[in-house]
Homo-oligomer: A and B are copies of this chain.
């Protein structure tokens, strides 16, 4: 049963507590990375046999097989995927940034160029976590950024194939190449390159504990999006909410993962009790009831706050991945929300809407990292490059400042590199 804690009677530590991370898989992952780095495709095929139970001759799924998957995918899903892709693209195109240029007197020219990453790897989990929505959410911002090649990796099923719905999503949003390999070994392949799989500049996408650890270990060698923890929702609800609806929203998060967390903060003790009962009533009806039960019993919490204002303070401290503001005038609170990945305003905005369809991204900062990090966006698929141009006249005006600054820092070589350009011995030859 979901616990009820009263703000006034509970210490802050218990209110803000998050589950500790699971056991480390650092060592096994380190071994897998080393094998793939040293032996390439051969190691990938061995791991795929061992972990996925499939013996593969080729790792790449060619365009023909992707088309075939697309054609055999669920037609209703394909239609929805097209519509969702359109909405996601419409939202994310507002994130596309321009380069800028500053042009000053004496011919000074400086700026920042925004450049797409050349090649990106997209990890898509297998099994029950093979979500076509994740393919769209990761691929569409990359396409808008102008990434030239998107390589998707995903573990094959027992039959050696990728689910058609995943291939359909890949085709709809323009994935360039598809490889049937998963786990830490797939991350290694993208980071180091193998005979079949090209080395990428950044790896994005969700994955299990092994995938998350592998991304952490290859970070620096390649970029990564984030190391995502378990999914989280925090619902702020006033006493006028229907408890059945609040319960349904909490359960939509709890069904993701036994480690997922669903938290309600309300100023109404009556609502707290009614939601507690409604969760118990609805939970057994879910297809994934065992997962939801584990999550609710372990991480579920209802906090009875002293007011909606302290509810917002609690939310800011927890910094949840998803935040629902199920209150009468949700916009009145938006300026007070400081830490959250994605905010859902009002009573008609269940988080599931954002998972699939509304347009904003569903790859969001977890574990309190919304304090300092951001939802996946076009920004994750570009890099910036500065440039500076000075004429001789402009450099001459800056010479004393730069040279003296450098000398004060004890860097005489820095000073010399400016001063030598005004040394009469070289004057003529430096136009």
Contacts and interface: CB of A to CB of B under 8 A. Distances in A.
B222 A372 contact: yes
Given A388-B360, A426-B244, A413 B254 contact: yes
A242 interface: yes
Interface string A408-431: 111111111110110001100111
Contacts of A331: 389
Given A354-B388, A388-B344, A406-B356, A411 B252 contact: yes
Nearest to A331: B389
Interface in A328-349: 330-331, 334, 337-338, 340-349
B408 A77 contact: yes
A310 interface: no
Contact of A356 (B81, B112, B345, B402): B402
Given A83-B401, A227-B220, A288-B413, A371 B418 contact: no
A245 B252 CA distance: 65
Residue with the highest number of chain B CB atoms closer than 10 Å, among A84, A94, A255, A348: A348
Contact of A413 (B223, B248, B330, B338): B248
A377 B371 CA distance: 18
A385 to B, nearest CB: 6
A395 B353 contact: yes
B251 A353 contact: no
A270 interface: no
A426 B349 contact: no
A76 interface: yes
A414 B347 contact: no
Interface in A178-220: 201-202, 220
Contacts of A353: 388, 390, 395, 398, 402, 418
A347 to B, nearest CB: 6
Contact of A133 (B245, B282, B409): B409
A119 to B, nearest CB: 9
A292 B330 CA distance: 61
Interface in A294-342: 330-331, 334, 337-338, 340-342
Interface string A2-20: 0000000000000000000
A95 interface: yes
A361 B409 CA distance: 17
Given A248-B420, A386-B341, A355 B406 contact: yes
A154 interface: no
Given A110-B358, A347-B431, A342 B402 contact: no
Residue with the highest number of chain B CB atoms closer than 10 Å, among A282, A364, A389: A389
Contacts of A285: 412, 416
A141 to B, nearest CB: 12
A373 interface: yes
A84 B405 contact: yes
Contacts of A202: 372
B112 A420 contact: no
Nearest to A406: B352
Contacts of A348: 390-392, 394-395, 421, 430
A357 B402 contact: yes
A146 interface: no
B74 A408 contact: yes
A402 B354 CA distance: 9
Interface in A92-121: 94-95, 97, 100, 102, 108-110, 112-113, 115, 117-118
Interface string A373-394: 1110101000111111111101
Residue with the highest number of chain B CB atoms closer than 10 Å, among A227, A349, A370: A349
A412 to B, nearest CB: 4
12 contacts: A77-B405, A77-B408, A84-B401, A117-B372, A165-B408, A222-B372, A242-B429, A244-B425, A245-B430, A255-B413, A352-B417, A357-B398
